[in-house]
Amino acid sequence: MPGKPQRRKPKPESRKQPSRKAGRPGKPKIKKKPGEEDLIRLNKYLADAGICSRREADIYIASGAVMVNGKVVTQLGTKVRLTDKVQYGGETLKREKLQYVLLNKPKDYITTSDDPQHRKTVMNLVEKACKERIYPVGRLDRNTTGLLLFTNDGDMAKKLTHPGHRIKKIYHVVLDKALSSKDMLTIAKGIHLDDGFIQPDKIAYVEGVTGKREIGIELHSGRNRIVRRIFESLGYKVVKLDRVFFAGLTKKDLPRGRWRHLEQKEVNMLKRL
C-alpha cells in the first residue's frame, strides 16, 4: 500500500524587519485646511517682491507701513494669500519669481536703478534679462568693470552685502606705476583710511606679468571705492579695476557687457554662504 501522504508542516511566517525609515518615529503630518496651501508669511511676501530682507520686512510691518487688502497690518507672523492685495509705500506689490542675473559690467555705466542725469546705468544692460524687477547687489563705480549680481531676492541681497558674512571678492588692479615691496607689505598688514582700518584678506603681484603694476587683491569689505582708496593712500593711481570673483562666481564664459542667469547649483551655493 502506498504510504500515507505526509503533511507538510506549515512554514513559519517570515518576520520582515521593519526598515529603519519605517520604524523611525517621525513628526505626524498635519493636514492643512483647504486654502492653507496658498498662505505665506507677510515678511516673505515682501522679500520675494524684492523690497527688502525678511528681517527688514518685520520692521516695516511693525511700524504700520504695510497694508493688506486696504488695512494696515502690524502683527508679526501674519500670513497672506497670493491673491491678497499687499501694499508698501502706497505701491501694490507682486510676489514674483526669484531671479538671479550675473553681469560682466563694462566701464562708463553707473550702478543705480535710476539716474536723474540720464547717464548710462547698469539697468540698461540687463533690461531684457527677465520681466521681474531686479536690483544690483552692492555697487561698482563708473570706471570699475567686472562681476555684478542682480536679483529680486531681498534676503539674498541682504546676506551678500552684510559685512558679517565676509563675502569674498577678488579684484585685478592695474596701477600707474610699480607697487614697491614695502608698500605691498604695508597694505598686507592693513592701513588706516578716513573711515577706519582696512586689511585685505590677500594681496599679491599678478603672476606672469612684468613690471609689478598689476596686483590681485582679495577682501570682503563693501566700503565705497575701498580698493582705489587703499592704493591712493600710498600715492598710487588705479588705472584699471576689474572684479573677477564675487561670492564664488567668476567671469568664465561671460564677455564684457553680457549677462547670464545663474544656474540652480550656483543659487544653492549662494544660499549656503
For the question of residue 48 being annotated catalytic, the response is no
Q: Contact, 69 vs 224, CB < 8 A?
A: no
Q: Which residues have C-beta within 8 Å of that of residue 3, sequence separation ≥ 6? A: none
Look up cell 585685505; give the residue.
200
- Amino acid letter for position 4: K
- C-alpha separations of 141 from 121, 133, 138, 187, 237 in Å: 11, 21, 10, 22, 15
Cα 250 to the center of its chain, rounded Å: 14
Q: Contact, 133 vs 50, CB < 8 A?
A: yes
The three three-digit cell numbers of residue 232, written as one number:
591712493
Measured torsion, CA atoms of residues 20, 22, 23, 28, in degrees rounded to the nearest 10: 130
Q: Contact, 50 vs 131, CB < 8 A?
A: no
Nearest to 99, CA basis, from 156, 40, 160, 41 = 156
Question: Which one is catalytic: 38, 108, 115, 141?
Answer: 141
Look up cell 609689478; give the residue.
212
The neighbouring-strand residues paired with 249 are 246
Q: How far apart are CA 101 and CA 54, in angstroms?
A: 21
Q: Which residues are catalytic?
A: 141
